[in-house]
Amino acid sequence: MHHYPFLNSSQWLLVIRIVTALLLVAHGFIRVYEGTVNEFGEFLATNGFPIAIFLAWGITAFEIIGGLMMAAGIFRKVIATVFIFELLMGIILVHAIKGWFVVGHNTGGAEYSVLLIVCLLAIAATEQKTE
């Protein structure tokens, strides 16, 4: 059986898990680095979420800590499921009204979130020998 160069399918799943996790870590990290967590909380508050600042910090911490844990293969199925919920909420609250494309035809759409959700579904649904 011919394998894609360099890695077998299990190893590529590991790459997908680590890269996806680190993209989500970066999402939380940049919010802390840029000092915009409270602004995120204000956005949540305007959309009717209770204890919005606390929720924004919790989501941000989850993105960083949960992302690192998922990259390491710790509780990956549960963490992937929570990330899927978070991304679905992002699509509902932010991206759906901006259309499909992230760049090009329009900006800020849902396509990137959908791709991440598909990667997270693969992470949650597959058994990986690397754990």
Question: Are 93 and 83 contacting, i.e. CB atoms less than 8 angstroms apart?
Answer: no
**2 contacts: CB under 8 Å, gap ≥ 6:** none
Q: Which of 51-55, 69-73, 108-112, 127-131 shows the lowest mean pLDDT across its residues? A: 127-131
Task: Please give the model's pTM, rounded to 2 decimal places.
Answer: 0.89
DSSP assignment letter at 102: S
Mean pLDDT of the 82-102 span: 94
Mean pLDDT of the 51-71 span: 98
Q: Where are the domains of the chain?
A: 9-125
Q: What is the pLDDT of residue 129?
A: 59
Residues 2-27: tens digit of each pLDDT? 556 788 888 889 999 999 999 999 99
